[in-house]
């Protein structure tokens, strides 16, 4: 198993993260209940493989993911890995009766309350310490201030985050309690708006900069270059299709892939095959062509997936593959090619 995964700096901070990170959503029982030991074994496998960054959120399983990550990682030497978690959702205990759990299965008995105010963010960080059983978080991200989650309330939530969450996290960063601060969203528009209104170190962008689509090249990435912030790119497999290929039942953004997406993935896959490169290896390495990308954060639900992702990160991809994708109009001309392998 690969055990030497490169690290990159987060923004202008002294925080470094491994270029391959483990995301905690699946380990919080997203869509399916994971046996406890399988979930814990997956976190252990990631650490043993050299994965040095672990991302979670109170939302994931309504506390389940933070408990699971903490159970494993608090037994490891603390300076050998970095942790990111999120703020903006508090967990409120529920005593009796049912409540909305969304796509999370067998959650803890806490309902989610959105709150981006100063006091709520300070409480959220303290609550995460308790769930992790650890006294340090390296990166704190303001979670899901975007149109998809808040609709007509987006402007009010953005204002609440700018006036509350950003000052709270800035205070923690300035005091040296947290190394880096940022946001975690699935949309480019809010990221641009935050970049214009806040001094943040990193942006976790999920599903928007991938082998299938390169959103943000015109405005967001130039802002990162100018201001010096970094990206943590989540969802490089687009919820499945860039890991499995366009097989029956393949998903794209958590829905059945459209015919247009299936056709595009098949074209990309054929080029990968001609260059003896697994589609998933190209997908996991592609975002690292951007020097402002510090880490690619993938999900996993079993140790074998960790081992596979580490191998994909170590796969040597010929430059001709990227050139052919551009020639065929399958990559934006402005998207830089990675130079790997990264493990």
Q: What whole-number distance in Å separates Cα of residue 114 and Cα of residue 87?
A: 9
Catalytic site includes residue 76: no
Q: Which of 47, 48, 55, 254 is catalytic?
A: 55
Q: With beta carbons less than 8 A apart as the criterion, state whether 7 and 18 touch.
A: yes
Q: With beta carbons less than 8 A apart as the criterion, state whether 33 and 160 touch.
A: no
Residues in the chain: 343
Nearest 5°: the CA angle 234, 235, 241 is 165
Q: Which of 12, 47, 48, 86 is catalytic?
A: 86
Closest residue by Cα to residue 24 from 200, 179, 206: 206
Pairing between β-strand 110-114 and β-strand 89-93 as defined by DSSP bridges: antiparallel
| Ramachandran angles phi, psi of 290, nearest 5° | -80, 120
Q: With beta carbons less than 8 A apart as the criterion, state whether 294 and 265 touch.
A: no
**CB within 8 A of 174, min separation 6: which ones?**
none
Q: Which of 47, 48, 60, 138 is catalytic?
A: 60
Catalytic site includes residue 86: yes
- Kindly report each contact of residues 221-224 with a partner whose C-beta sits within 8 Å and lies 24 or more positions away, as own/partner: 221/290, 221/292, 223/192, 223/195, 223/196, 224/195, 224/292
Catalytic site includes residue 138: no
Residues annotated as catalytic are 55, 60, 86
């Amino acid at each position: 198993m690969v055990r030497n995964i490169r690290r990159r700096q987060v923004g202008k901070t002294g925080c470094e993260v491994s270029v391959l990170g483990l995301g905690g959503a699946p380990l919080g029982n997203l869509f399916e209940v994971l046996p406890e030991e399988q979930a814990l074994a997956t976190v252990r496998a990631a650490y043993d493989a050299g994965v040095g960054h672990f991302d979670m959120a109170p939302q994931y399983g309504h506390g389940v993911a933070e408990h699971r990550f903490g159970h494993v990682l608090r037994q490891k030497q603390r300076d050998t890995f970095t942790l990111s978690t999120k703020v903006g959702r508090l967990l409120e205990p529920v005593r009796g009766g049912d409540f909305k759990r969304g796509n999370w299965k067998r959650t803890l008995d806490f309902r989610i309350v959105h709150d981006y105010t100063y006091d709520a963010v300070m409480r959220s960080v303290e609550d995460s310490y308790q769930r992790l059983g650890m006294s340090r978080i390296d990166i704190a991200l303001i979670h899901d201030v975007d149109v998809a989650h808040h609709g007509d309330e987006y402007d009010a939530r953005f204002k609440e985050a700018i006036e509350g969450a950003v000052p709270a996290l800035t205070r923690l960063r300035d005091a040296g309690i947290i190394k880096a601060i940022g946001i975690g969203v699935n949309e480019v528009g809010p990221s641009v708006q935050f970049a214009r209104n806040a001094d943040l170190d990193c942006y976790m962008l999920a599903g928007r900069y991938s082998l299938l689509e390169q959103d943000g090249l015109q405005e967001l990435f130039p802002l990162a270059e100018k201001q010096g912030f970094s990206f943590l790119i989540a969802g490089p497999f687009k919820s499945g299709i860039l890991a499995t290929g366009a097989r029956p039942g393949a998903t794209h953004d958590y829905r059945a892939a459209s015919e247009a997406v299936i056709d595009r993935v098949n074209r990309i896959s054929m080029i990968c095959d001609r260059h003896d490169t697994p589609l998933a290896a190209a997908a996991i390495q592609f975002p690292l062509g951007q020097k402002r990308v510090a880490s690619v954060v993938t999900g996993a639900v079993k140790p074998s997936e960790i081992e596979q992702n580490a191998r994909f990160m170590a796969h040597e991809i010929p430059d001709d593959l990227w050139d052919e994708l551009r020639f065929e109009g399958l990559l934006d001309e402005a998207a830089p090619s990675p130079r790997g392998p990264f493990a």
